[in-house]
């Protein structure tokens, strides 16, 4: 089978990877780790989700074939190492992460569909692409994973992935579908950041 793998501009692709890598590097910095640990956190956070997706759908692991991805992750770790942590405080990084989450959830779904994955599993591949890197980061850091917290994060990735899959199945123009899907995921995540929107927790009493 020859899959037509969706392409996005290389600069945007690397920028999304860099944002995710930065969240990993900054977490290691907050934990007062060495530069080696910071670099490792940056790499696994930046490429973790896409790597798992590619392995599951039988595609070449993207960052092994792309000579720029690993250097970008290591470069981000270097920047984080030499800059004061206060530069990255506040909501700026959260909003950048939200944009990366939405875009990568769409890209992961589109790539899975291009490899003849059925729509529902393709949506899950999109969620994996957007979220697994952060899950790996949190587990390595020994803190509660994002999937164990009520704030809307995975749900935003799922919305972006679902809109992407639905639009593709309906045969709508690919560019339009991608933009609408990413916007939907970004807006939902934005509500969680700006208004503290969260899912209700299980409260049933015996």
Task: Count other Cβ atoms within 10 Å, centred on residue 76.
Answer: 26
Residue matched to tokens 């990568």: 104
Q: What distance in Å separates the CA atoms of residue 91 and residue 194, rounded to the nearest whole number?
A: 9
Q: Which pTM was predicted?
A: 0.85
Q: What distance in Å separates the CA atoms of residue 174 and residue 50, rounded to the nearest whole number?
A: 20
197 burial via Cβ count (<10 Å: 0-12, 13-18, 19+):
middle
Q: What distance in Å separates the CA atoms of residue 133 and residue 135, rounded to the nearest whole number?
A: 5
Residue 40 backbone dihedrals phi, psi, to 5 degrees: -65, -45
In the chain, where the domains are located = 10-195
Is the predicted pLDDT of residue 72 greater than 70, yes or no? yes
Task: Count other Cβ atoms within 10 Å, centred on residue 61.
Answer: 14
Q: What distance in Å separates the CA atoms of residue 109 and residue 119, rounded to the nearest whole number?
A: 8
Give rounded-to-5 percent helix, strand, coil for the chain: 75, 0, 25
Most confident of 8-17, 20-29, 178-187: 178-187
User: Are the CB atoms for 49 and 23 separated by under 8 Å?
Assistant: no
What is the rounded average pLDDT of the residues 162-191?
Answer: 93
Q: Quick one: angle between helices 174-195 and 92-114, nearest 10?
A: 150
- pLDDT score of 18: 86
- For 46-66, what is each residue's pLDDT tens digit? 999 999 999 999 988 989 988
Identify any residues that bridge with 50 across adjacent strands, giving them in sequence order: none
Strands (E), 50-203: none
- Residue among 11, 200, 19, 15 nearest 98 (CA): 19
Structural element, H or E, at residue 116:
none
Q: How confident is the model at residue 1 (pLDDT cuts 50, 70, 90)?
A: very low
- pLDDT score of 188: 95
- For 87-103, what is each residue's pLDDT tens digit? 777 777 788 888 888 98
């Amino acid at each position: 089978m020859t899959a037509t793998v969706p392409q996005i501009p290389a600069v945007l692709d690397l920028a999304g990877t860099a944002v995710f890598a930065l969240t990993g590097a900054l977490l290691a910095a907050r934990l007062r780790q060495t530069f080696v640990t910071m670099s490792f956190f940056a790499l696994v956070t930046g490429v973790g989700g896409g790597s798992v997706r590619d392995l599951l759908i039988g595609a070449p692991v993207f960052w092994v074939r792309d000579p720029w991805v690993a250097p970008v992750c290591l470069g981000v770790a270097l920047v984080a190492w030499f800059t004061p942590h206060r530069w990255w405080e506040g909501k700026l990084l959260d909003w950048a992460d939200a944009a990366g989450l939405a875009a990568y959830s769409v890209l992961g779904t589109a790539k899975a569909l291009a490899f003849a994955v059925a729509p529902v599993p393709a949506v899950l591949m999109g969620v994996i692409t957007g979220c697994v890197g952060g899950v790996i980061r949190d587990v390595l850091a020994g803190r509660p994973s994002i999937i164990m917290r009520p704030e809307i994060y995975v749900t935003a990735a799922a919305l972006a992935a679902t809109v992407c899959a639905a639009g593709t199945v309906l045969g709508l123009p690919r560019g339009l579908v991608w933009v609408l899907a990413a916007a939907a995921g970004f807006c939902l995540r934005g509500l969680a950041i700006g208004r503290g929107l969260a899912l209700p927790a299980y409260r049933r009493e015996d």
